[in-house]
Amino acid sequence: MEKEVDSLRVLKLTDLQSSDLDELVNRYYNDFESEWNSYKHTFSISKLDSLESKIKSIVE
């Protein structure tokens, strides 16, 4: 996203509105949410509980 915004700066557009960036922002939020959801499915509660138990047994 930073590169895309920088490329707009290079163009030195004087009539750029915040609404012009709405699509860009929405796309990046959607990409973030998709990536976040992919991690969420990787770590189920049962896996985390199991990991916690293993850590407790090592620490004790």
pLDDT tens across the length of the chain (60 residues)? 678 777 777 878 778 788 878 888 888 899 999 888 887 666 778 888 999 999 999 997
Taking a C-beta distance cutoff of 8 angstroms, is the pair 24, 1 a contact? yes
pTM above 0.75, yes or no: no
Instruction: Using alpha carbons, list the distances in angstroms from residue 39 to 27, 29, 36, 51.
Output: 19, 16, 5, 16
Taking a C-beta distance cutoff of 8 angstroms, is the pair 17, 37 a contact? no
